[in-house]
Amino acid sequence: MSFIEVKEVSKTFKVNKRSAGIPGMIANMFVPKFENKKAVDGISFDIESGEMVGFIGPNGAGKSTTIKMLSGILCPDSGSISVNSYVPYRQRKEYVAGIGVVFGQKSQLQWDLPVIDSFELLKAIYRIPEEMYKKNLKRYTDMLDMGGFINQPVRQLSLGQRMRSDIVASLLHSPKIVFFDEPTIGVDVIGKETIRSFIRELNEKDKITMIFTTHDMQDIEQTCKRILIIDKGSLLYDGSLQEIRNKYGTTRQLIAEFNEDTEVTPIENVMIGDPKDRKRSFTFDNSVVDVNALMHEILGKYSIRDITVTEPEIETIIRKIYNKEVFA
């Protein structure tokens, strides 16, 4: 049995529907109209203990609804969910004692209290043994370099400092699974790398199961080996980032800078761009054209100053999957 099992889960919400303008608002007060909106449509997946999984999709795809069902906040209309042998929405009290949640736009810290006081409060709420609390507190605050602000009120912290504090708060009780919702949103480059490095190390050493929802693909690329892509409530892809690149990111572009103005002859299965500042682009599918052979041909025929090969960014590939372009 997998650590997380999601089987044919669906969730529909009743949404108020009214005509535009004041007449519509008045009519809706007396005879409200509703329509059903399916947020999650029969998705299934399994996650093993210790996996770090990115759960991504465009706005309104059903990510948050799925995470809320996994964390026990919402109950599915149909299907089943099991996490660490618990049914989250039925055994909520026992279940939440073993999970951690980090919301990038919503803090669990007390706004006017020093960070350490919020930690002490969480210690009491989760009934964390003293030895475990001290050990986790020291380890996590050292790893995230929090000594300089742990005694400051939360309202005085920068966004990056608050996010680090929220992450520690979610881990003090040694959860077996942590849900991250936009954990680096608005954080500067250095702060993002600090958080990503911390998360990677924690997953590797402690084998904590982690699920990410984020729009920042750098978060996913630098932390997760596996991703789930969801759109319009349906699961579009389940696999590794490398598999996505191999399957959908086969387009490559070779940029050659010539030593002089040069006429380039056509090359089979290669699209050659217009000249610009003595540079030419050669676009090709690397499953059809061997890049080494192409480079050898170009270097053998022409006087080249510089040559580079680029591959599509993961954001571009993911966007094509959202748009169903890769399944055409």
Task: Print the SS3 string covering 246-292.
Answer: HHHCCEEEEEEEECCCCCCCCCCCCEECCCECCEEEEEEECCCCCHH
Q: Using CA atoms, how far apart are residues 255 and 281, in angstroms rounded to an integer?
A: 5
Indicate the domain borders of the chain. Answer: 48-245, 250-311
Q: Are 48-245 and 250-311 the same fold in CATH?
A: no
Q: Using CA atoms, how far apart are residues 301 and 203, in angstroms rounded to an integer?
A: 50
With respect to CATH, is domain 250-311 assigned 3.30.70?
Answer: yes
- Model pLDDT for residues 32-68, shown as the tens digit of each residue: 777 788 889 999 999 999 999 999 888 888 888 999 8
Contact 184, 194 (CB under 8 A): no
CATH (one of 2.60.120.10, 3.40.50.300, 3.30.70.270, 3.40.50.720) for 48-245? 3.40.50.300
- Coil, strand or helix at 27: helix
Q: Using CA atoms, how far apart are residues 187 and 171, in angstroms rounded to an integer?
A: 20
- Model pLDDT for residues 182-240, shown as the tens digit of each residue: 888 778 888 888 889 999 999 999 999 999 888 888 888 888 989 999 988 899 889 98
Q: Using CA atoms, how far apart are residues 226 and 45, in angstroms rounded to an integer?
A: 12
Between 241-248 and 314-322, two packed helices, what is the crossing angle to 10 degrees? 80
pLDDT at 328 over 50: no
- Coil, strand or helix at 225: coil
Handedness of CA 191, 192, 196, 197 (dihedral sign): negative
- Model pLDDT for residues 140-198, shown as the tens digit of each residue: 999 999 999 999 999 999 888 999 999 999 999 999 999 998 888 778 888 888 889 99
Q: What is the pLDDT of residue 142?
A: 94
28 pLDDT tier (thresholds 50, 70, 90):
low
324 pLDDT tier (thresholds 50, 70, 90):
low
pTM recorded for the entire structure: 0.78
Place of tokens 């509703």: 34
In degrees and rounded to multiples of 5, residue 116 shows phi and psi of -60, -35
Please give the share of the chain, as a percent, with pLDDT higher than 90: 53
Lowest-pLDDT range, 71-85, 90-104, 236-250?
Answer: 236-250
